Chains A and B, each alone.
Chain A
């Protein structure tokens, strides 16, 4: 008897969905737009954050040493800096390495190459390139390097040159992450409100039907379940449409997506390691799964709340 009832509940839900064509198309459409908008917003925020992260990896401070400073002293400074808890990465470029790099970099330029040839000795300095664990720690590292005991070894720290940029980027990062989260939250709340009301209006049509079912002696769940399943159907169909449209949009804009190559002229060192298409392909199941779960959750909850209101007889 339980199975028969369950079968009937599912059948009723599907038949109702089919018969209420135009209303259900509208509600499913609203669900699709909602899921699609949230997905696009989340992807854009994620993309923005990954770009910022990418920028961060390119920020560092450089320490220039006096040309008279011995390698031993320089390495001592390096070891002390490495020991700082704020330091994530450190790269030492000796005077010779810097000179070699310079020569390779400008080998195509005949003027500079000629100038290099005329020089008797290496004019460059040894440098330390330091990356902090987070943006706020550069000033602390700078403070450490300004210590009097290094004054004979360190000629210059580039922090003062980069200071404004670092502060600006730090502010942008924080604002983007905070505001991005707020925008998503506000949008999700608005979307939930819209979809809840759309489902509620659909369920309003069933008000009389629910009352009649109650009066002829149908049990609580026997009445409610078909409507709850109908709510889930909005989510399932909405998420299928939404993911299809999203996939279409991503594949159609495939060529315009390579933001990193746009920004850095071909170098690809960021989070996506390729394009958004690649990212979408790799995370398809996750994106679809989240959309599906969110759609079903919103649909079921909205219809449950809406239909319960009419159960009070």
Chain B
């Protein structure tokens, strides 16, 4: 479903963030991307949603070659992906409800459908009662939940999650991971970038390990966080 073919990404000053990445992620998989801070996890995810472009190599989304995609088709591609950003990226001028509803508004859903889906998504992540708050009125953990609700509300084909447990305590972190597993069981491909060893080890799913911008290990099943 997502294929990376010899992908490299260099930032300014030729500092290499990713080097020669070859990776195939199939539909319905749960893949954990692990590695220390600065290993290139976030860059890898940014390439998937085309927030960044590769310096070398090619990325495919199904049969679509991402380098050939027109700028006008980019929104349509992104609507198939749900992304939970490390820094949440919530819109500060919109309430919790409006933040989650925005994706559905973009898709042109009716107000009735929006009300129903947003309430359900907020219920799943457990912050239904905060729907009229603005992001700055919430704690870090609550903001993370809103970001997850926004990423799943439109039932995307792929859910990309960047460090979802970084701002949560252990208990809340586990709850979020259980939620991701549940979403994956319902058929959504989940790509999880994290450096939380305990969570990765308990998942028993595929683990791709990055170190200094290279894939050093790809354990197809029962993967463990080994560095």
Residues of A within 8 A of B (CB): 1, 4-5, 8, 16, 19-20, 206, 208-209, 211-220, 222, 313
Residues from chain A with a CB closer than 8 A to the CB of B81 are 217
Decide if B60 is an interface residue (CB 8 Å cutoff): no
Residues of B within 8 A of A (CB): 49, 51, 72, 75-79, 81, 83, 85, 89-93, 102-103, 105-106, 108, 110-111, 150
Cβ of B64 to closest chain A Cβ, rounded Å: 15
Interface centre among B103, B105, B150 (most CB of A within 10 A): B105
Residues from chain B with a CB closer than 8 A to the CB of A20 are 93
Out of A1, A209, A212, A217, name the residue touching B75 (CB < 8 Å): A217
Cβ of B131 to closest chain A Cβ, rounded Å: 16
User: Do A217 and B89 have beta carbons less than 8 Å apart?
Assistant: no
Q: Main SS of chain A's interface residues?
A: helix
Q: Given A20-B93, A313-B51, answer yes or no on A213-B102 (Cβ-Cβ < 8 Å).
A: yes
Residues from chain B with a CB closer than 8 A to the CB of A218 are 75, 102, 106
Residues from chain B with a CB closer than 8 A to the CB of A214 are 75, 78
User: Do B89 and A208 have beta carbons less than 8 Å apart?
Assistant: yes
Cβ of B224 to closest chain A Cβ, rounded Å: 32
Cβ of A39 to closest chain B Cβ, rounded Å: 33
User: Do A215 and B51 have beta carbons less than 8 Å apart?
Assistant: yes
Cβ of A92 to closest chain B Cβ, rounded Å: 77
User: Do B93 and A209 have beta carbons less than 8 Å apart?
Assistant: yes
User: Do B92 and A217 have beta carbons less than 8 Å apart?
Assistant: no
Residues from chain B with a CB closer than 8 A to the CB of A213 are 91, 102, 106
Cβ of B187 to closest chain A Cβ, rounded Å: 20
Give the residue name and chain of the B residue nearest to A7 (CB). Answer: B111
User: Do B105 and A8 have beta carbons less than 8 Å apart?
Assistant: yes
6 cross-chain pairs, A with B, having the tightest CB-CB distances, nearest first: A217-B78, A217-B79, A1-B108, A218-B106, A217-B75, A212-B89
Residues from chain B with a CB closer than 8 A to the CB of A208 are 89, 91-92
User: Do A216 and B103 have beta carbons less than 8 Å apart?
Assistant: yes
User: Do A215 and B49 have beta carbons less than 8 Å apart?
Assistant: yes
Residues from chain B with a CB closer than 8 A to the CB of A215 are 49, 51, 78, 83, 85, 89
User: Do A19 and B106 have beta carbons less than 8 Å apart?
Assistant: no
Cβ of B25 to closest chain A Cβ, rounded Å: 20
Residues from chain B with a CB closer than 8 A to the CB of A217 are 75-79, 81, 103, 106
Q: How far is the CA of A16 from the CA of B72 in the complex (A)?
A: 26
Interface centre among B89, B90, B150 (most CB of A within 10 A): B89
Give the residue name and chain of the B residue nearest to A5 (CB). Answer: B108
Residues from chain A with a CB closer than 8 A to the CB of B93 are 16, 19-20, 206, 209
User: Do B51 and A212 have beta carbons less than 8 Å apart?
Assistant: no
Give the residue name and chain of the B residue nearest to A209 (CB). Answer: B91
Residues from chain A with a CB closer than 8 A to the CB of B110 are 4
Give the residue name and chain of the A residue nearest to B87 (CB). Answer: A208
Q: How far is the CA of A215 from the CA of B76 in the complex (A)?
A: 11
Residues from chain B with a CB closer than 8 A to the CB of A219 are 75, 106
26 contacts between A and B (CB under 8 A): A4-B108, A5-B105, A8-B105, A19-B93, A208-B89, A208-B91, A208-B92, A209-B92, A209-B93, A211-B89, A213-B91, A215-B83, A216-B78, A216-B79, A216-B103, A216-B106, A217-B75, A217-B76, A217-B77, A217-B79, A217-B103, A217-B106, A218-B75, A218-B102, A219-B106, A313-B51
